[in-house]
Structures are given as C-alpha cells and as structure tokens.
Amino acid sequence: MMRLPNMVAASFQPGGSDIATYHFNSDNGAPVCDQIMNALLSCNQGSETAYGADQYTAKLAPAYSEFFERETFVFPVGTGTAGNGLALGAITPPYGTIFCHESAHIVTTEGGAPEFYSGGGRMTLLPGEHNKVSSATLQQALQRHGIGNVHHMAASSISLTQATEAGAVYGAEELKELTAIAHKAGLKVHLDGARISNAIVHLGLTPAEMTWKAGVDILTFGTTKNGTMNAEAVITFDPEIARVLGFMHKRAGHLFSKMRYMSVQLLSYLENDLWCANALRANENAVRVASALAQCADVVLAHPVQINEVFAVLPPRLSNALREKGIHLRPWNLGGNGEGFRLVMSYSDSSEQIQRFEDACREDAAAWNVGPKDAIPSTVRLD
C-alpha cells in the first residue's frame, strides 16, 4: 500500500509536518491496553463457530443492553468510518439528506462514506461554534430545506458528534433540544461517538442518559481510540433499524468470520469499567497539558478543553522551545496570528511524558516572568 503516493500523503502527513517522533499526535496512535490484549489471548483457544455464533458474541447484546439499560443491538465493525457509514446508511435513503456540522469528521475525512452507504444521499452542512450545531441553526436549516419538496432531497437524518472534532461536548439538555427538533421534522438521530467515553465521563452521565434518553436513535460507539484493537460498534435501540443493519453490515463485508476476536474486545471494554478508567486518564492528561499551557504568556486556547484534546495557538518562542526539547507538535489550522496546534492525549501517555511537557511550560512561564493564570480559559475565541 505504501507504493501508493496518495495514500502515503493521506496517512503520513495529514498535518503536513513530520510527525514521526511526535508524542501527542493522536489517540489512534496508542497501543492496545493490557486488559484488551489479555482478553484476546484468553479467547484464542480451540474452535468456535464462525460469523458470530460463538460464545462471546452471544454475550454482546446482553452486556450492552445492561450497559445502556435497554434492549440494544450491537454490530461490531473495524473502523469508525465503517460505523458512521453503516449507521447513516441505515437511516438515510438514497434520495435523502443528512444534516450535520460542516466540519464533522464524516464530511472532512471519511472519503464519502455517508454517500456510499446511503447509496447516493447528501450531507447538508451547518455552521456552528466548536463544531457544535445549535438548535436555532438546525431549525432554520429545516425550514429553508422544506419537507417533502421533491425538487430538494428528503430531509432524513441528522448526525451529531459527541464529543465534537473540536473537543467540545453537548450537554444532555442541548442534545434533547436538538433531537426533539429533528424528530418533529421526521429525522432520525445519529451520534458519532468516536470519543463518546471521554464525553460521558466529562459530563458524569450514564450511557443511557447520553444516548437514547437524549433522543439518539443510533450511534457509532468508539473504543479504538480508548484502548482496543480496531473495534468499534454500531449500536441502535430500534429493532427495525437493526433488521436493516443486519443486511447492510454483512453486505459491506463487516460481519467477521472469526467474530470472537471482535466480540471479546467489546465485552472486555465494559469490564471493570475499563472504558471509564481509560477515558478519565486521557481527559486528566489533557487538563494537565492545558493547565501547563495556561501559565504561559501569549497562549490562546481555540476551543474549550472538555475531553482529551487541546487546541492551542502558541507563540513561536514557546513552540520552538518545545521542539528543542524533542516535543514535536502537530500543526492544526486554527486561524489567528500564531501557530496553531492540536494536542491529543491518551490513556497510554506516561506520566513522565506529561511531566516533561509541564516542565517545559513552567520554564517558559518563569523565563517570561508571568504568574500562573488561575483557570483554563474554556471559551476563548480566535478571530
């Protein structure tokens, strides 16, 4: 595959910089955590029936139904793009449109998966601060679109990202208001939960409160960024959507023959609240990093720090100092004057690594004689 220059370009330098030695690059770069790896080893005994008829897959729906406090249908997939595509395709007809944020991951970097899985649907793009869609914006968009006008496409679904690509989190009330508007207009509601565990622990809600109790019909439940080996799941609470997904999931080649290795990960992910412990660690690391930056002069946070991501514009002085200490940052277009960077923390970051970052910032703060700022500016904006 590496012979394909375009794929190299695509995957090796999304930010355009050499990120070979970078340490806060992405939670996708983290290894598989020990509990998950042990689960994989533990199920690697003897023969099992293929295509999901094994003893582990048999426990999936019960375990997740308990997790979500309601009958739950679970479809394991290997990537978030597959999960989002399948989920949106199951609730959007070929002649339908999906309302979503103009910078949503499904729009910017999933290669047209929503169009592929819906069979020719469209995404209607909405603006919004920190990649969040507001109720007012949604309402206006629905009005402008017109329901049932055959010269337009059918208003079919909405996709919200929790937490957003900017690291922002929808509160339960915000979600309820949005899903109420969507349902009233006949739309189904999808949640892209690539980092949903980080959002849940940030809000201190139950998985049920974060999903179906807030009006979510179907979600992509991400676990890979939080410790598993390419194991995501499309989750729905609607039997009819599940019936359709059964066919789509197989048809697209996401029904694994050796399913046990997917199922055992998704089961282990819930055991000992692993999902929660890993997400908490990642979020805490982000607070440490953001707090360290907050002490430094001329630093601006582009988005609130609510999960395991920090988006910061740094003065050249500081970014150079970090570089010299072997801390390479991933450039990110945040507008403004200085250099923008995205820092993503993970459950697997060593305390030493974070410590080193904190030390570097403390040095900078001291050198520039600036007293520690008291709080992380959680809604600072750039122009």
Residues 117-136 that bind a second copy (CB under 8 A): 118-123
The least CB distance from residue 166 to a second copy, in Å, is: 18
- Give phi and psi for 193, each to the nearest 5: -105, 45
Q: Which is nearer to a second copy, 13 or 206 (CB)?
A: 13
79 touching a second copy, by CB under 8 A: yes
331 touching a second copy, by CB under 8 A: no
Spatial distance between the Cα atoms of 138 and 130, rounded to a whole number of angstroms: 15
| Alpha-helical regions (H) of the chain | 5-12, 34-42, 57-67, 80-91, 105-108, 113-118, 135-145, 172-184, 196-203, 207-210, 239-251, 260-268, 274-294, 316-324, 351-367
The least CB distance from residue 151 to a second copy, in Å, is: 4
45 touching a second copy, by CB under 8 A: yes
Site for a second copy in 201-230 (CB under 8 A): 224-225, 229-230
351 touching a second copy, by CB under 8 A: no
**Backbone CA torsion sign across 114, 118, 121, 124:** negative
Q: Which of 253, 326, 335, 336 contacts a second copy by CB under 8 A?
A: 253
Unique residue bearing structure tokens 């999902």? 275
Site for a second copy in 364-383 (CB under 8 A): none
Q: Residue 256 class from Cβ within 10 Å (0-12 exposed, 13-18 middle, 19+ buried)?
A: middle
193 touching a second copy, by CB under 8 A: no
Count other C-beta atoms under 10 Å from residue 321's C-beta: 18
37 touching a second copy, by CB under 8 A: yes
Q: Which of 17, 70, 78, 288 contacts a second copy by CB under 8 A?
A: 78
41 touching a second copy, by CB under 8 A: yes
80 touching a second copy, by CB under 8 A: yes
# of chain residues touching a second copy (CB under 8 A): 111
Count other C-beta atoms under 10 Å from residue 91's C-beta: 25
Residue among 299, 291, 296, 293 nearest 370 (CA): 296
The least CB distance from residue 47 to a second copy, in Å, is: 4
186 touching a second copy, by CB under 8 A: no
CA-based max dimension of the chain: 66
Stretch that binds a second copy, among 53-61, 128-136, 163-171, 181-189 (CB under 8 A): 53-61
Q: Which residues contact 208 (CB under 8 A, 6 or more apart)?
A: 68, 69, 70
Pairing mode of beta strands 330-331, 339-344: antiparallel
Stretch that binds a second copy, among 106-114, 158-166, 185-193, 203-211 (CB under 8 A): 106-114
145 touching a second copy, by CB under 8 A: no
